[in-house]
Amino acid sequence: MGAAAVPGRTAPDGSPYPDRSQPTFEREIRRMFGHIAERYDWFDHVASVGNDFLWRPRALAALDRFRRGAAPPRRVLDLGCGTGDLARQVARRYPRAEVVAADFTAPMLANARARNRRAPEGRRIGLARATAMRLPFADGSFDLVTNAFVARNLRDLPLAFGEIRRVLRAGGALLTLEITEPTSPAFSALFHAYFDRVVPALGSLVASTGPYRYLPESLRALPPRPVLLEMIRSAGFPRVAARSQSLGIVTAFLGEAAPPPSRSA
Ligand SMILES: C[S@@+](CC[C@H](N)C(=O)[O-])C[C@H]1O[C@@H](n2cnc3c(N)ncnc32)[C@H](O)[C@@H]1O
């Protein structure tokens, strides 16, 4: 007899509501993103009051400052690409780069594919269905790995950073953009009133309940900036930096993989 299926947590309206403490967490995350794939972009714009239009380009600019002097990347992986917004921005920013946009949620990839078809830079973007925990790419096959608003959803961050490091060549770079705790305690109260109450209420009103209750919970599960930086360093990135925007509510975590060993004796 096969093992009984473990039902995932659902919100009162029946929508997926991932529970980090359960072994089914990853499956529930995938189910949740599949459930919201169609309205993901517009809800993102509404909930962030349009700030998400600024966050990704600013994070890429911070990455370029961090990599100053390095050659433009030729092969880039955007992990947890969702509908492909960051992957397209990366492709526009580095016009000679080949970009792979990967995600483990099929409806998100379908959405990304449709949008890529309508964008000239979309021709340089390949899509891959892949989980961050076990990347189907060879060691050292990318110059840059980016990911935006994915880290909060990963069940094992050190494992994911280790996989990212493995697929990067020596001297390659990492950009992890994520929602973070505001840097100003005064602003923190206002931010949490909005993020913990208004956003879930808005979500249940216009979409569904579970995903937007999960959202503030997922922020609490993310380690604080210094711990996250140390985790990235321990995964094989000796040079790291954090660059916050919008009073700290998003942060770009940057890492440079150890450069190749010098040949000089
Ligand atoms: C909040 S969305 C962010 C999408 C996009 N990066 C953006 O900037 O809008 C998170 C995405 O990460 C994907 N994701 C979450 N966990 C993942 C995992 N373990 N492996 C691959 N993709 C994952 C989800 O399917 C979803 O598309």
pLDDT of 79: 98
For range 179-208, the mean pLDDT: 92
182 pLDDT higher than 60: yes
pLDDT of 231: 98
Calculate what percentage of the chain has a pLDDT beyond 70. 96
Ligand 1 contacts CB of residue 86 (under 6 A): yes
Q: Which of 24, 27, 33 gets mutated to test ligand 1 (max ligand atoms within 8 A of its CB)? A: 33
pLDDT of 1: 33
Candidates 3.40.50.150, 3.40.50.720, 3.20.130.10, 3.40.50.620; CATH matching 25-256: 3.40.50.150
* pLDDT tier for residue 7 given thresholds of 50, 70 and 90: low
Alpha carbon nearest to ligand 1 atom 14, residue: 80
For range 94-100, the mean pLDDT: 97
Q: Give dist(CA 161, CA 159) in Å, integer.
A: 6
The answer to whether the CB of 23 falls within 8 A of the CB of 5 is no
178 pLDDT higher than 50: yes
Q: Which two tokens stand for residue 264?
A: 């000089």
The answer to whether the CB of 32 falls within 8 A of the CB of 211 is yes
Phi, psi (rounded to 5 degrees) for 29: -60, -45
**More confident of the two residues 166 and 205:** 166
**Domain ranges (residues) in the chain:** 25-256
34 pLDDT higher than 60: yes
Please state the length of the chain. Answer: 265
pLDDT of 4: 43
Q: Give dist(CA 189, CA 48) in Å, integer.
A: 17
Q: Give dist(CA 143, CA 169) in Å, integer.
A: 6
* pLDDT tier for residue 259 given thresholds of 50, 70 and 90: confident
For range 117-136, the mean pLDDT: 97
Chain position carrying tokens 């993901």: 40
Alpha carbon nearest to ligand 1 atom 25, residue: 105
5 pLDDT higher than 70: no
Q: What's the pTM value of the predicted model, to 2 decimals?
A: 0.95
Ligand 1 contacts CB of residue 132 (under 6 A): yes
52 pLDDT higher than 70: yes
